[in-house]
Amino acid sequence: MSVTAYKARFIAVSPQKILENRYINIEAGNIIEVSSRILPQTARVINLGDGVIIPALINTHTHLELSAFKNKIPYKYGFKKWVKTLLEKRENTDKKILINAAKVAAIELLHTGCAACAEISTLKLTKQIFAESNLAGVWFEEKLKNDLPDNFKIDKTDRIEAQKNKYYSYAGHAPHTTSPFLLARLKKQTQKAALPFSIHTAESAEETEFITTGKGEWAEFLAERKVDYKSWGLPAKSPVSHLENLNILDRLAILVHLTFASEQDLRIIKKYGANVCLCPRSNYNLHNRLPSIETIVKLGINACLGTDSLASVDTLDILDETAFIAEKYPEISAEKLFAMATINGAKALGIEKSYGTIEKGKKASFLYLPVKASNKKAALKAALTKQFNGKRVFINY
């Protein structure tokens, strides 16, 4: 079988390694060598230009089935109003409209250079879309309230397409919307199957108030929706502490948002080796607040990036997240930011053997960005802040 070699002035192999004037040699869809040479049997060489090649992006949190609500729900009236409006619109929107918008959004993800995602689905409308797409990653069926049958059990062999790097798992919606009994059962089953488990955590002030007091606006909202929360064992010290008490935290857990997490919460997360997924643009839009990303980085927590849904952000582009973080947190290095957008997300989703870096044996999945830079560091910074002219080129075998 013939080999194809891709060349660019800079190749960001990993956060720690940026090469200049090298070739990525590919055979049968896999990387066989990154070096200064072209393999003898190479059938063709593709010189992408003077820019930089980076690994494919990983979007570790999105809701494709909410894509129909882009620019449809205002942020300015507060999170509770936003959630209430979103639920009303979703309940009154034809499922065909939701499905068609999700299909378009999945294509948008790929066009941005995203090879893998974590799709969170409550209505189960996107499973087939995810299965038939070229996206790798994890499709999470999200559970709320306490709606599991007594005989619930995950059959691992039925829920993984390992050859395609596609995994099917479960997510608990959040500590303030999902009973602790359901969360514990979900986590126990996903843990047995060695599958990731995702959950929104410490996202809003309303969540924190409810978890720490058992009262407040969110308690009233749950009562309106006839959700009985009286047996949930509240109050707790914090949403993170609540999940710790339920044995949710481990290396397979992905805690999303953490907008209102304290340093003590973050230290608890670090203790258990859990993953954190940050969606700062969504947090800023919905809460006018950002998570303590600098503390998360300082503690060495495996932090990855998500976009959340098009109901709360304008794009599903992970580079929009990196550019936003670079502006709001200039002290965070380009190397750390690069890891969040690539290898950290791959680790959180359990696909790091195939994605996240440009190395021998991994999938040939990478993104060329036409930056203008005089050195390696400048090239990486320009890529992560979207300082490039021209179209990106996504190679995804």
- State the pLDDT confidence band at 157, using cuts at 50, 70 and 90: low
Q: What's the chain look like in SS3? A: CCEEEEEEEEEEEECCEEEEEEEEEEECCEEEEEECCCCCCEEEEEEEEEEEEEECEEEEEECHHHHHHCCCCCCCCCHHHHHHHHHHHHHCCCHHHHHHHHHHHHHHHHHCCEEEEEEEECCCCCHHHHHHCCCEEEEEEEECECCCCCCCCCCHHHCEEHHHCEEEEEEECCCCCECHHHHHHHHHHHHHCCCCEEEEECCCHHHHHHHHHCCCHHHHHHHHCCCCCCCCCCCCCCHHHHHHHCCCCCCCEEEEECCCCCHHHHHHHHHHCCEEEECHHHHHHHHCCCCCHHHHHHHCCCEEECCCCCCCCCCCCHHHHHHHHHHHCCCCCHHHHHHHHCHHHHHHHCCCCCCCCCCCCCECEEEEECECCCCHHHHHHHHHCCCECCCCEEEEC
Report, as an integer, the average pLDDT of 175-192. 94
More confident: 158 or 311 = 311
What pLDDT score was predicted for residue 47?
96
**How do residues 184-198 score in pLDDT, each as one tens digit?**
999 999 999 999 999
> 158 pLDDT exceeds 70?
no
Q: Where are the domains of the chain?
A: 3-55+357-396, 57-349
> 325 pLDDT exceeds 80?
yes
| Single pTM value for the model | 0.96
Percentage of the chain modeled with pLDDT above 90: 89
What pLDDT score was predicted for residue 37?
86
> 150 pLDDT exceeds 80?
no
Measured in whole angstroms, the distance separating CA 81 from the mean position of its chain's CA atoms is: 25
Report, as an integer, the average pLDDT of 5-12. 97
Report, as an integer, the average pLDDT of 294-319. 98
What pLDDT score was predicted for residue 42?
74
Is 3-55+357-396 a domain of CATH 1.10.357.10?
no
Report, as an integer, the average pLDDT of 78-94. 94
What pLDDT score was predicted for residue 40?
77
> 144 pLDDT exceeds 70?
yes
Structure tokens at 260: 């209102």
**How do residues 94-121 score in pLDDT, each as one tens digit?**
999 999 999 999 999 999 999 999 999 9
**How do residues 119-135 score in pLDDT, each as one tens digit?**
999 999 999 999 999 99
**How do residues 248-300 score in pLDDT, each as one tens digit?**
999 999 999 999 999 999 999 999 999 999 999 999 999 999 999 999 999 99
- State the pLDDT confidence band at 161, using cuts at 50, 70 and 90: confident
- State the pLDDT confidence band at 206, using cuts at 50, 70 and 90: very high
> 60 pLDDT exceeds 80?
yes
Task: Indicate if 57-349 has the same CATH topology as 3-55+357-396.
Answer: no
What pLDDT score was predicted for residue 156?
63
What pLDDT score was predicted for residue 80?
86
CATH classification code of 57-349: 3.20.20.140
What pLDDT score was predicted for residue 96?
98
Report, as an integer, the average pLDDT of 58-80. 95
- State the pLDDT confidence band at 159, using cuts at 50, 70 and 90: low
